[in-house]
Structure 1
Amino acid sequence: MSMRMKAVAPALVCLTVASAAAAHAQSSLVCLRDVAPTVAQDMRYAGPNNFTGDPVPGYDAAECWLARPAAEALAKVQAEMEKAGKTLIVYDCYRPVRAVRHFLAWAKRQGDKRDPAYFPRVDGSKLVEQGYIAARSAHSTGLAVDLTFGDPNTKEPVDTGGLFDLFDYISHTNAKVSAEARANRNMLVGAMAKAGFTNYAAEWWHYGFKGSAPQQDVPVKACGAR
């Protein structure tokens, strides 16, 4: 082997290993539309309708991707919802690590700014400190999902007493809300728990599936493109 080939070979090995790792990461996630096609999707971070006001890096497509066990469990929840004349509506699923880093950098720039829609009582720069934005997210494993439920025809969500991503105490699952909102929150908690999901107490919309998986940073792509 020539000196030139010896110098190039390690780089080729690194590229091969990196490509294999990326392929494995992509194959561990499945497109929810392929598993539960009737679940409504309103993927907030792929567009400007979110607390940052802009599309978030890493969301190249408005699609829900999840680890297969979580996707299959969510399909079971959807089946139960459909029996009740409802549909699940997902807001966020797998979240690339780069999106998490973007949220942290965004929050740091906010200073004392407040937003009446998303953080009316907390300065933007304190959202991380107070636990509203996480430095490490279970979403990046594909085992967490943000969702609600609503009308299967109009895709309008039910009243839950607070908007998705409202960084406020009212978003705590057990916060004091109207009787209707309380019933809807309880219904969602019960349906998700039956399929193996656990609610995060500070966010009525956030659920994690049992098990563990590595954090990933591959971008969200259209179904069939991964």
Structure 2
Amino acid sequence: MTRLGSLLRGLAASATALLAVAATAPAAHSSTEPQAPQEFVALRTVAPTIIQEMRYITPHDFMGEPVDGYQQPLCIVTRPTALALARAQRTLLREGYSLKVYDCYRPQRAVDHFVRWAKDLQDEKMKAEFYPRVDKSQLFADGYIAEKSGHSRGSTLDLTIVKLPALPTAPYRPGQKLVPCYGPKDERFPDNSVDMGTGFDCFDTLAHTDDPRIQGVQRENRQFLKKTMADVGFTNLPEEWWHFTYSPETFPDTYFDFPIAWRSVAGH
């Protein structure tokens, strides 16, 4: 068996395990919940080898709690976006890497949750990791939080690159000591991705893709990700090295609010 074949078999096995977890995860829901349009798919059904580490269903995010609307650890995107991601993944696998997604489609109720949290200036329990140098009162003015997000349109996602074979990411334990997201890789929260100079969702100018302070291997890794995604039709948000939007967007002007759950895309 070729090395690529072994990598694919390993990733497929991991995907099967993640599907089993997602399928059995409890999720309270209403029968009146909106469904995703037919143009949306679960990424797993199109590109099963892409690693999924969906952060917002866990307490390891800048709020320190699971986000509204994330009912299962699932990446949902529009079908053209998923197909483009699959093309990027094939390229990376040949070079011994894999994509890893942190967040994909994001319901409007999740964005509303972010906004409520940002307005509560007393809640800073995750500040030491995610925004140690930013005053919380400035999150709107500095563009870190907004009342609308391109994620809600289905063609935007947050992702990184992992060197294969992928090592497991250590679980976050609520209450553990927090380390600045821009610290050295061996000091900040452990992540099995290549070193991008900051962690995901780092509210700091060091997260700007082309920040001149990011040099060496970290800069090379950012440019590697940016080029890989650009080659299949994605545009990077300059303020966030992890943030990409596929063009043309299937829904350029529509912000959806269906929950992130398998039933939302059932039968697609």
Q: TM-score range by the shorter chain?
A: 0.7 to 0.9
CA-to-partner distance for each residue in 1:110-133, whole Å, 9 max, x for gaps?
Answer: 259471210011122321221011
Asked whether the equivalents of residues 111 and 125 of structure 1 are also in contact (C-alpha less than 8 Å), the reply is no
Given candidates 94, 107, 117, the residue that maps to 1:106 is 117
Given candidates 164, 182, 194, the residue that maps to 2:200 is 164
Q: What is the rounded CA distance, in whole Å, between the counterparts of 2:208 and 2:264 in structure 1? A: 36
> What SS does the corresponding residue of 1:100 show, helix, strand or coil?
helix
1:224 shift after superposition: 7.9
Q: In the alignment, which residue of structure 2 is the partner of 1:60?
A: 71
CA-to-partner distance for each residue in 1:14-33, whole Å, 9 max, x for gaps?
Answer: xxxxx7x944x342210000
Q: In the alignment, which residue of structure 2 is the partner of 1:82?
A: 93
Q: In the alignment, which residue of structure 2 is the partner of 1:27?
A: 38
Given candidates 12, 31, 37, the residue that maps to 2:48 is 37
> What SS does the corresponding residue of 1:34 show, helix, strand or coil?
helix
CA-to-partner distance for each residue in 1:129-155, whole Å, 9 max, x for gaps?
Answer: 210112211100110010000123224
Given candidates 191, 198, 218, the residue that maps to 1:181 is 218
Q: 1:78 to 1:172 in 2, by over 3 A?
A: same
Provide structure 2 residue ranges, at least 5 long, that are not aligned to the other structure.
1-31, 168-191
CA-to-partner distance for each residue in 1:181-220, whole Å, 9 max, x for gaps?
Answer: 0000000000000000000000000001112302100000
Q: RMSD of the alignment, in Å?
A: 1.9
Q: Percent identity?
A: 42
Asked whether the equivalents of residues 200 and 206 of structure 1 are also in contact (C-alpha less than 8 Å), the reply is yes
Q: From the CA coordinates, give the structure whose radius of gyration is larger.
A: 1
Provide structure 1 residue ranges, at least 5 long, that are not aligned to the other structure.
1-18
1:66 shift after superposition: 0.2
Q: Does residue 1:218 correspond to 2:258, yes or no?
A: yes
Given candidates 224, 228, 244, the residue that maps to 1:191 is 228
**Count of residues paired in the alignment:** 206
Q: What is the rounded CA distance, in whole Å, between the counterparts of 2:53 and 2:121 in structure 1? A: 26
Q: Does residue 1:207 correspond to 2:239, yes or no?
A: no
Tell me the TM-score normalized by structure 1. Answer: 0.86
Q: 1:116 to 1:134 in 2, by over 3 A?
A: same
Q: Which amino acid letter does the alignment assign opposite residue 106 of structure 2?
A: R
> What SS does the corresponding residue of 2:84 show, helix, strand or coil?
helix
Q: Which amino acid letter does the alignment assign opposite residue 145 of structure 1?
A: L
Tell me the TM-score normalized by structure 2. Answer: 0.73
Q: When you count helix as a share of all residues, which structure comes out higher?
A: 1
> What SS does the corresponding residue of 2:159 show, helix, strand or coil?
strand
Q: What is the rounded CA distance, in whole Å, between the counterparts of 1:45 and 1:154 in structure 2? A: 21
CA-to-partner distance for each residue in 1:56-113, whole Å, 9 max, x for gaps?
Answer: 0000001000011001000001011101100001000000000001001101002594
Q: 1:42 to 1:139 in 2, by over 3 A?
A: same
